[in-house]
Structure 1
Amino acid sequence: MICISLSSTDPFFNLATDEYLFKSSRKEYLILGINNISVIIGKHQSAHREADTKFVTEHKIPVIRRISGGGTVFHDQGNLNFTFILNSREGKQIDFRKYMLPVINFLSSLGIDAK
């Protein structure tokens, strides 16, 4: 697995990097990055349902759709984002616990109740 630490804090660039590597490479990646203030929504979500449109417009907070599913998240420079890109055969289930357990254990060692 190739680990990439992004120096950019531009959420558009960082999400585009994820998408580019996912679509153009068969290698496996762990991508780490920190984004400027932004709201990131999942592939199938409605931006108007997930974000307060008036608030994000008034505060110039971009709402960006990622290529993967999942919930809406708020990003700022206080959190570290990570993306796994895994090379799996179609129909093969991936056990994400294998990848998340080291993160959970590390957070637990800091006294954070991660699950």
Structure 2
Amino acid sequence: MPSTNCTTIYKLVQRAEDDDIEDVGNQLFGDGSSTMSVLEKKKRFEELYGVVRPDAIHAHPPNVVKCKGSGSRLPSKVEAAKKAAVKPPRRCGKCHKMVNHDSRNCDKERSKKQK
């Protein structure tokens, strides 16, 4: 029952919108059989909107937004290696040597050196 009421209401609203759109089209462009001058079209649009179109339109460009370059730059591998070389070595908890890795990465570092 509720779905039939909704569809009926939807159909009525759709019919009203279609009729209104046709009325607006007829007001603006007439019945389509005769050609209108540019001045007649302007008058019809002004009547529809309720405001007069200004003679000169003064538009200014938008303010410049400086968002370029605001993100962080990813360092190259060479820069990352230089930065890592400057850090002092720490004692690894697994191999107990003064190196640049820790106990979590100790096995990975050993396998890299063996290859």
User: Larger relative contact order (C-alpha < 8 A, sep ≥ 6)?
Assistant: 1
Structure exhibiting the larger radius of gyration computed from Cα positions = 2
Q: Which has the higher helix share?
A: 2
Would the TM-score normalized by the shorter structure come out above 0.5? Answer: no
Q: Which has the higher strand share?
A: 1
